[in-house]
Structure 1
Amino acid sequence: MVGEVRSGRLGPGRAEELYHAVVDLLTEQGYEALTMDAVASRVHMSKATLYRQWGGKDGLVASALKHFVTPIAQDIPDTGSLRGDLDAFVDGFDDEETARRASLMRGIGQAAHEDAELEAALRELIVEPCRRYFTPMLRRAMARGELAPENTAVDFIVHMVLGGVLAPEIMEGRMVTQAGLRRYVHAVVLPALGAA
């Protein structure tokens, strides 16, 4: 399993401090510039301890991701309409948590393409839960006649939602908010699905 601590020597409070330091350094410097020396220095811990427990930078960063990124809600809303279901999805977003996810993804996005463990962590924590969340929602919408079964846009729901979360920071220098995500869902996602 990605991101498991390999030793029981760190208590929960110490691990929390360590993961905060990793996330802070990722946000400040990006993945490539983050070093085990910098982490060890920030938390006053020996580099040998870090290597012994996490094996290297990729394992440590994967653990920090797993610790801080709250999985998408498992309860898939069924409000009776696709618009209502997507609004309920947006209602579950917390601005601070969404900003954390976006910062982490930005901080390690490029590195994940070159590191299998990081890529697996991103997929496990963000991409696959989104897929499991939206697939039944869209199937219900098709069963209700809201979406045409041949609509190929449904294959890109995860791309659209993740794009809506990440694009504001990349293109406009601001973090996504719940209100902004709702506007995006209404203006882009629903029309693309043919359910506006």
Structure 2
Amino acid sequence: MTATEQAIPPRARRSRITPEREAELYAAVLDLLREVGYEALTMDAVATRTRCSKATLYRQWTGKPELVAQAMRHAKGSVVGDIDTGSLHGDFHQLVGRLDDEQLAKETALVRGLIHAVHTHPDLLRALRDLILDPDPTGLEAILRRAVSRGEVRADCPALEYVPYVLIGALVACPLVGDRPPDRAFLLRYVDSVVLPSLTA
């Protein structure tokens, strides 16, 4: 049995939710997270917001931790998508270019809320680790692997494993240090000044 199977019980996949409907549900979950936080988010609230029965939600997801993790996974995957410009610099710049300042402000608030929640909800932490970090749905590892294959980054570069931490750190630290949410201009400077030099030095 894999770590994911141990952390998240199997569920009966009898739901007829379409991909479009599933995307709507995930968007609603993230909106609720931003509005009320993880602790106050309930499956009842999700059912009401999405006009979906709780029975349907529980057939598709085992509970709140997995639903939140899957929503985060879906959102991150849709951001990176099929980015492949032929260079690491181009890939990162295109990634940032797909974001807008309003979305970045929302994502920053979401990340900060989840960081607080995982300290008191180990089930959420397990779900996030298993469904987001391990399978890499964001495509970030693929971007980095291509950079290594092209010779832009050494295969033994010690900074490779820390890229997710560095990127998340920017979202969390900017409001604390700069008293403002990060915007695209900040992230582009951050990528050029911190992320890329750490990988290509």
Q: TM-score, normalised by structure 2?
A: 0.68
* Partner SS for 2:29: helix
In structure 2, the residue matched to 1:67 is: 74
Shift of 1:32: 1.9
- Post-superposition Cα deviations, 1:84-133, rounded to whole Å, max 9, x if no partner, equal x3244222322246556544433433445612223222215758732332
* Partner SS for 2:80: coil
After superposition, residues 97-136 of structure 1 pair within 5 angstroms as: 98=104, 101-112=107-118, 114-115=122-123, 116-124=126-134, 129-136=139-146
Equivalent position amino acid for 2:51 in 1: H
- Post-superposition Cα deviations, 1:26-73, rounded to whole Å, max 9, x if no partner, equal 111221221112212223333233223322112222332233331534
The 3 A distance-change label for structure 1 pair 134 and 165 is: farther
After superposition, residues 39-54 of structure 1 pair within 5 angstroms as: 39-54=46-61
Q: CA RMSD in A?
A: 3.6
Q: Paired residues, what number?
A: 184
After superposition, residues 157-196 of structure 1 pair within 5 angstroms as: 157-172=163-178, 174-193=180-199, 195=201
Gaps of 5+ in 2: none
* Partner SS for 2:139: helix
The 3 A distance-change label for structure 1 pair 7 and 190 is: same
- Post-superposition Cα deviations, 1:145-167, rounded to whole Å, max 9, x if no partner, equal xxxx8764444333323323443
- CA contact 1:36–1:56 (8 Å) conserved in 2: yes
- CA contact 1:26–1:34 (8 Å) conserved in 2: yes
How far, CA to CA, are the matches of 1:152 and 1:14 in structure 2? 41
- CA contact 1:71–1:129 (8 Å) conserved in 2: no
Gaps of 5+ in 1: 80-84, 144-148
* Partner SS for 2:15: coil
In structure 1, the residue matched to 2:94 is: 91
Which is further off, 14-23 or 99-108? Answer: 99-108
How far, CA to CA, are the matches of 2:13 and 2:40 in structure 1? 24
Q: 1:141 aligns with which of 140, 145, 152?
A: 152
Larger Rg: 1
The 3 A distance-change label for structure 1 pair 192 and 118 is: closer
* Partner SS for 2:170: helix
Q: TM-score, normalised by structure 1?
A: 0.69
How far, CA to CA, are the matches of 2:33 and 2:20 in structure 1? 20
